Structure 1
Amino acid sequence: MSSSSSSSSSSSSSSEAKWSFDVFINLRGEDVRYGFVTDLHSCLIHGGINAHIDSEDLRHGDEISPALMKAIEQSRIAMLVFSENYALSRWCLDELVKVMECRRLKNQRVLPVFYKVEPGDIRGLRGSNGDALTGHEKKLGQDSERVKKWREDLFEAANLSGWHYDHGNETEFIERIVKEISTLVRRVPLSVTKYPIGVRCRVEEVMSLLSMGSDDIRMTGIWGTGGLGKTTIANDVYNSIAKTSNRPDGLVHLQEKLLFEILWKESLVVLSVDGGTNMIRDRLCCRKISLVLDDVDHGNQLNALARECEWYGKGSEIIVTTRDKHVLNSHGIDQVYEVKPLDRGEAFELLSSHAFQGNQMKDISRDHKDNVLGYAKGLPLAIVVLGDLLCGRSKDLWESILKKLAESPNKDINSILKISFDVLEDNERDIFLDIACFFKGRVREYVTRVLDSCERSLVTIEHDCIVQMHDLIKQMGQDVVKKECPNDPSKCSRLWCYDDVNEVLSTAMVRASHQTTDNLIVFNLHAITELPLGTNDVKGIVLQLQTPAKLHISPNAFMHMRRVKLLILSSAQINRGPYVFLMI
């Protein structure tokens, strides 16, 4: 979670930049160089902050020197010291334009200092600074693009959060700036990704939902299953510091963190969630911020941090990433971006970036690459994990690893996907596992006869009628069931593999009433009333064979299956021909 004024974003994260300076100070020397800025620079250096002061030695003629341009580009933070005659200096204004360009393209943090000038006068281009721009227009022409750019960037910069000094103890004012700069310098921004393939276009689609440049306060959701890159996209829209709220005082901790990062006041203490909501509403209602709430899975998290848009100032943008679309819907967030898997071209490029070095690609057949892409199904997480796993491996090892993956999911991928499963309620888990083990690809009407619906970015409906889920999510669900008792299928809650079904049914009596037709045997399992209670954990058996196969059913098959509620056996050869068993 992070806050600041809004900005565009590039696919490269500021965390990946190599900063030469912590702070670049832009100023008009005749106004503030000797005195305020000299003292400020000394305090920054004394505090271990590598600060660079704009020097006249780097100014040549009417243009900024390449050395000065480089110093701006390689600074993590740019500080703009607005003074009484700031706009008289063309160098100051050209540096300002460069700083604002770095803010847009490199996520550079820009902090204004209004030194003995009113922020409103800078924003409105009034007073001596407004007169200075008028004078530049007379010299450079009424239609000068250069002056037009100066005006635009002055207005934008003056709208950013910073510091205002009019009178009072200047030493204390400098100490406050240094303390807050120290906090920002110590803060490590999140990295986007090593190979941001497919990220840029998705970021642009999210940016199109935001109210960039307007006074609207907008909440935007980014929704999708685990591993699709929601956090990567959100971080690229605004390089955020993501927090979680799993600890008992998690929401209070988050509220304190949010208030501190915006207000920079360590003394703020939040005693309760309700108290924190009031403090956020009262103290931030005039602050224009960009706020990213990452991996939200409960409505109480949104209520504690952003219950209403009006809690924040005009022009604020709030981005929420979640796996649970219901969280967004229930909060009234109607601007929702659904993250889709990578297309085949993007997936292949991402796989190549992680898996192949030098000429290794020549040794790996097209079928092997297609198998990896088919397994990942456009899921960036899976492609990155598998690419790194397969990097530098021989063709034989590729075959071995792919064969192993077909039998058991990769633990790194599985652990991320399973997060969505772990937060489900018990009845929702049952629904999901039934779909993962039995009903993927079946018609929705058929499935809803026996199941309720759930939506945690785990199950989707295609063409308004087909129940679907990503193959890796299906594999994750089946792995959950297999781990219930790996060596004894009779103690697993669901059976769908021929060998497991045959083993369980061949060892146990159908004393339930039944009817027989040419291709169907229907058992009334609820008629089993005389059987003793048992320990068998099987809840459902669904065997859907592509080709008919013999299935042996023992007279005692259902002796201990007191929990079975679903039994479907399709194309199983029992006695004389194929039959289908359905529970009634």
Structure 2
Amino acid sequence: MKRASSSPIFNPNSWTYDVFLSFRGEDTRCGFTGHLLNSLVHKGINTFIDDDGLTRGEEISSSLLKVIEESRISIIIFSENYASSKWCLDELVQIFHCHESKQQMVRPVFYKVDPSDIRHHKGSFGEALAKHERRLRENVEKVKLWRTTLTKAANLSGDHFKEGEYEYKFINNLVDEISVQLLNQTYLNVAKYPVGIESRVQDIYQLLSIGTTGRCVAGIWGAAGIGKTTIAKAVYNSIGHRFQGRCFLENVGEKSLSNEGLLHLQETLLSETLGGTNLKVGTVHKGMNVIKQRLSHKKVLLILDDVNELDWLSNLAGATGLFGDGSRVIITTKDKGLLTRNGIKLIYEVKTLDCYQALELFSWYAFDTNEPPVEYVALARRAIDYVQRLPLALKVFGTYLGTLETIDRWQTILDSYKSAPYKEIQKPFRICYDALEEEEKQVFLDIACFFNGKEKDILKELLKDDELDFPEDYIEVLIQKAFISLDYDNRIWMHNLLEQMGKHIARQEPLTEPGERSRLWFHKDVYRVLTENTGTSKIKGILVKFPKPVDILLSAKSFSGMSNLKYFINCNASLSGYCGYLPYSLKLIDWGWCQLKSFPSNFHPKELIVLHMPHSHITQLGKGLMKCLTKVTSLNFEGCKFLKSISDFSGLSNMKSLNLRYCTSLLEIDPSVGFLENLVTLDLEGCTNLEMFPNRVGWKSLESISLKYCKKLKKFPEIVEKMESLRSIYMEASGIEELPSSIGFLSGLHILFANRCEALKNLPCSIYEFQHLSFLGLNHCPKLVTLPNKSNSEVSVSNVGSLPLALQTNSNTSHSPALPKLGAYASQDATYPALISLIILSASPH
């Protein structure tokens, strides 16, 4: 039985602030520092400044020490009189204490001062230190510490702002780099209770010879559930700051089964190591070349998690040869032979926790404290012996036993297995599974067979009509009982040991005839059922996933017996032939690279919720089909290069996501799409032949729309009513010639990205109505030669502060000679046209 207690929760991302600003108030508070603070805040960076971040009445010195400790980056603005302040110097000492003890980042800014004056204590810095020495004769050591710390700071690579430079440009570049630093320093969630992890991280640190030159590949090897991924994440958090780029790729074994998966891994590697840059490489071969071009001079940390073969590693990392000197690649695997066969000699074997560590970890999950109550000690030790001190089993079994109210119940559960102890490690999990309610078991099996790694919201929609009144309740039970967890983007994660157990259970019903089972996932069973037409009404879902891509020839009767089929997911098989029937009961179709040119004429999928058919040969979605899609929430036809038309959307009132990226034959979008009340994302990027788009739109829920590279699209639609939800518009390199004045109705707009719109001629005056716009990209728009004026309207800059707008003009002014050179900032007392409030950026962040 659990008892209340505080417990150590390892959360390396629990910073209170992103940035701490250290500065001399009389030098820069109302100028440079104020402008920098404004830009940081508008970029979404949580920044502390000492005159408004503390609660009144607190002891400021002790509070500041704590704030510095809880900030991810400290920006030190060295100005003329910085060293004259004992307060500033004490801040500096604390900053470097945290830099050296906690590896926090420090960013010096030398504002109109020479770094050598700080390094060698000359000029105003030398004079200030001399005064401190005279005044603090009884505390010479303190001044000595200030001198030493100033020298350390000046020796760091920093940013030097010189007299005569454009302040806005310097600040924008600095803030962009800080954003990238923060992105690169995002930590992984390691473990709620990191028992036994620190010593293992130190062992791997030594194995990798961190700090030395050269490149190396190391392996972390051990049994399933023993904590390889957890340890790898902890290593990533611990040493990642030492590298110029870092990337943690999860579930690599599964994702590397197909070229598409490898391509995604390459693009993720590039994106994460290059600070969020979204690169599309097209093919795996091109991806190798791009990785070599962009990363060959970077010191990279790459962790490949859950690897089961290495034949493809050269396509991803080139056995580290594609990375710069000092790079490290870490591979986690259950197969030691995989490492030795590929010449990897640096291997760390993860062993089970020792008895004391296992008891502590079990106790945290069972009792919410680091040790069991005295009366439970013997039972707790029996339990950890039973699960062989395996961390995952300790978590699941401890969570389950912790829900039991009496010591007698513990005794009963453990005694029931005394006469026939299980040797297979999955058996403890089966105990916990058997204790679930029937509905909870069904949801568990669905996740294990079909939805591990999928979005929670999609699963909720799919389960809603599945004889489950409150599907979220069952998902929450599985979370509470440690069967599943949610990752950072709300996707469901189930450990592969639990997934394997669930799949094993599903394959037992019945053992001999796959067509009589509710869930098909094993590739041989799937092949047999689809080619021999042996499917029955008992089949609820099919996952088509082969060790290597295969061809399967369908017949008219392949699906004819599956009247209750709800989920069909094809990962890597090429399904061709004639499909004369698809069940009406289908709720999810995820069928990439489908060879069908059209759906069967008798297909009326009134239960369908998710229809994903990327890169398929579908040519059209006819009226008959579209009328049936009343429950659909997500349509994805990305890369369907033969798709020419889609009929009336008006019946799709539940649709939240529409993805038609790179449908290069698509000529028009039906006007009805403009009034889908629940639509949240609309992506038409790369529809290079799209000419017709709704003239009028009134989306109530839309948050993002992309019209990038729609080169033939000339007109942006009129906005017929206020749309508060829309946050971002991406129309880069489109053919749009002008934006309507009604765009002012987009009161919640944060991003308008219109770079390289070669036909764009003007902007409407209504852009001044945007109250939340944080980025306006207008780079390389050669026909945009003037900016709009608000006739006879001038506003105080202090009143325009609610318009945190970053305007990106052409970095090459010859493209737009008439665009004014606007100052970035103005004094709070001056009155200027509203446009003066725009912050001019010189280069695209993309």
How does the TM-score come out when normalised to structure 1?
0.56
Give yes or no for the alignment of 1:53 onto 2:45.
no
Paired position in structure 2 for 1:374: 385
Paired position in structure 2 for 1:328: 339
Paired position in structure 2 for 1:396: 408
SS at match of 1:197: coil
Cα displacement (A) at 1:250: 3.0
Cα displacement (A) at 1:41: 0.9
| Paired letter, 1:410 | F
Query: Kindly tell me: are residues 69 and 171 of structure 1, through their superposed partners in 2, closer, same or farther at Cα, counting changes over 3 Å?
Result: same
Paired position in structure 2 for 1:171: 168
SS at match of 2:352: coil
Quick check: 2:218–2:347 contact (8 Å CA) kept in 1? yes
Deviates more, 1:321-330 or 1:336-345: 321-330
| Paired letter, 1:260 | S
SS at match of 1:222: strand
Paired position in structure 2 for 1:306: 317
Cα displacement (A) at 1:388: 0.9
SS at match of 1:202: helix
Which of 48, 65, 75 does residue 71 from structure 2 map onto? Answer: 75
Paired position in structure 2 for 1:190: 188
| Paired letter, 2:357 | E
Query: Kindly tell me: are residues 95 and 214 of structure 1, through their superposed partners in 2, closer, same or farther at Cα, counting changes over 3 Å?
Result: farther
Cα displacement (A) at 1:298: 3.1
Per-residue CA deviations over 1:449-502 (Å, capped at 9, x if unaligned) read xxxxxxxxxxxxxxxxxxxxxxxx9999999888765777999xxxxxxxxxxx
Which of 194, 204, 216 does residue 206 from structure 1 map onto? Answer: 204
Query: Kindly tell me: are residues 146 and 234 of structure 1, through their superposed partners in 2, closer, same or farther at Cα, counting changes over 3 Å?
Result: farther
Paired position in structure 1 for 2:601: none
Quick check: 2:19–2:45 contact (8 Å CA) kept in 1? yes
Could you say what the CA RMSD is over the residues aligned between the two structures, in angstroms? 4.9
Paired position in structure 2 for 1:288: 299
Give yes or no for the alignment of 1:355 onto 2:353.
no
Paired position in structure 2 for 1:338: 349
Quick check: 2:119–2:154 contact (8 Å CA) kept in 1? no
SS at match of 2:120: helix
Deviates more, 1:163-172 or 1:344-353: 163-172
Cα displacement (A) at 1:339: 0.9
Query: Kindly tell me: are residues 251 and 383 of structure 1, through their superposed partners in 2, closer, same or farther at Cα, counting changes over 3 Å?
Result: same
Per-residue CA deviations over 1:526-553 (Å, capped at 9, x if unaligned) read xxxxxxxxxxxxxxxxxxxxxxxxxxxx
Paired position in structure 2 for 1:252: 263
Which of 113, 116, 121 does residue 132 from structure 1 map onto? Answer: 121
Q: Distance in 2 between matches of 1:476 and 1:265?
A: 31
Q: 5 Å matches for 1:403-552?
A: 403=416, 406=421, 408-411=427-430, 485=508
SS at match of 1:249: helix
Which of 13, 16, 21 does residue 20 from structure 1 map onto? Answer: 16
Cα displacement (A) at 1:262: 3.3
Cα displacement (A) at 1:410: 1.0
Query: Kindly tell me: are residues 45 and 478 of structure 1, through their superposed partners in 2, closer, same or farther at Cα, counting changes over 3 Å?
Result: closer
Q: What is the aligned length?
A: 409
Cα displacement (A) at 1:273: 2.4
Per-residue CA deviations over 1:263-303 (Å, capped at 9, x if unaligned) read 33635332222323333333233333444333333325643
Query: Kindly tell me: are residues 54 and 478 of structure 1, through their superposed partners in 2, closer, same or farther at Cα, counting changes over 3 Å?
Result: closer
SS at match of 1:271: coil
Quick check: 1:86–1:129 contact (8 Å CA) kept in 2? no
Per-residue CA deviations over 1:412-436 (Å, capped at 9, x if unaligned) read 9999xxx9xxxxxxxxxxxxxxxxx
Q: Distance in 2 between matches of 1:231 and 1:375?
A: 23
Paired position in structure 1 for 2:107: 112
Query: Kindly tell me: are residues 388 and 302 of structure 1, through their superposed partners in 2, closer, same or farther at Cα, counting changes over 3 Å?
Result: same
Cα displacement (A) at 1:347: 0.8
Cα displacement (A) at 1:182: 5.2
SS at match of 1:279: helix
| Paired letter, 2:410 | W
Q: Distance in 2 between matches of 1:478 and 1:263?
A: 38
Quick check: 1:13–1:107 contact (8 Å CA) kept in 2? no
Quick check: 1:294–1:321 contact (8 Å CA) kept in 2? yes
SS at match of 2:208: coil
Query: Kindly tell me: are residues 145 and 79 of structure 1, through their superposed partners in 2, closer, same or farther at Cα, counting changes over 3 Å?
Result: closer
| Paired letter, 1:338 | E
Quick check: 1:211–1:217 contact (8 Å CA) kept in 2? no
SS at match of 1:321: strand
Per-residue CA deviations over 1:346-385 (Å, capped at 9, x if unaligned) read 111111222125897344361x323211122121111111
Gaps of 5+ in 1: 1-9, 59-63, 420-472, 492-584
Quick check: 1:11–1:236 contact (8 Å CA) kept in 2? no
Query: Kindly tell me: are residues 232 and 164 of structure 1, through their superposed partners in 2, closer, same or farther at Cα, counting changes over 3 Å?
Result: farther
Query: Kindly tell me: are residues 386 and 112 of structure 1, through their superposed partners in 2, closer, same or farther at Cα, counting changes over 3 Å?
Result: same
Q: Distance in 2 between matches of 1:57 and 1:476?
A: 47
Query: Kindly tell me: are residues 86 and 211 of structure 1, through their superposed partners in 2, closer, same or farther at Cα, counting changes over 3 Å?
Result: farther
Deviates more, 1:214-223 or 1:473-482: 473-482
Q: Distance in 2 between matches of 1:50 and 1:479?
A: 43
Cα displacement (A) at 1:195: 1.5
SS at match of 1:342: coil
Query: Kindly tell me: are residues 276 and 53 of structure 1, through their superposed partners in 2, closer, same or farther at Cα, counting changes over 3 Å?
Result: farther
Q: Distance in 1 between matches of 2:499 and 2:266?
A: 34
Quick check: 1:347–1:378 contact (8 Å CA) kept in 2? yes
SS at match of 1:396: helix
Which of 233, 236, 250 does residue 235 from structure 1 map onto? Answer: 233
Q: Distance in 1 between matches of 2:291 and 2:224?
A: 30
Quick check: 1:85–1:128 contact (8 Å CA) kept in 2? no
Paired position in structure 2 for 1:65: 61
Quick check: 2:9–2:193 contact (8 Å CA) kept in 1? no
SS at match of 1:193: coil
Q: Distance in 1 between matches of 2:291 and 2:280?
A: 12
SS at match of 1:65: helix
Q: Distance in 2 between matches of 1:326 and 1:278?
A: 29
Query: Kindly tell me: are residues 259 and 485 of structure 1, through their superposed partners in 2, closer, same or farther at Cα, counting changes over 3 Å?
Result: closer
| Paired letter, 1:389 | Y
Q: Distance in 1 between matches of 2:362 and 2:221?
A: 24
Cα displacement (A) at 1:77: 3.2
Cα displacement (A) at 1:105: 4.9
Quick check: 2:313–2:319 contact (8 Å CA) kept in 1? no
Gaps of 5+ in 2: 1-7, 55-59, 134-139, 238-246, 434-443, 449-495, 515-846
Between the two proteins, what is the percent identity of the paired residues?
Answer: 36
SS at match of 1:299: coil
Query: Kindly tell me: are residues 37 and 353 of structure 1, through their superposed partners in 2, closer, same or farther at Cα, counting changes over 3 Å?
Result: same
Deviates more, 1:341-350 or 1:172-181: 172-181
| Paired letter, 1:262 | T
Deviates more, 1:480-489 or 1:288-297: 480-489
Quick check: 1:84–1:129 contact (8 Å CA) kept in 2? no
Quick check: 1:14–1:106 contact (8 Å CA) kept in 2? no
Paired position in structure 2 for 1:268: 279
Quick check: 2:259–2:284 contact (8 Å CA) kept in 1? no
Query: Kindly tell me: are residues 315 and 132 of structure 1, through their superposed partners in 2, closer, same or farther at Cα, counting changes over 3 Å?
Result: farther
| Paired letter, 2:429 | N
Per-residue CA deviations over 1:325-354 (Å, capped at 9, x if unaligned) read 344335543322111110111111111222
| Paired letter, 2:376 | I
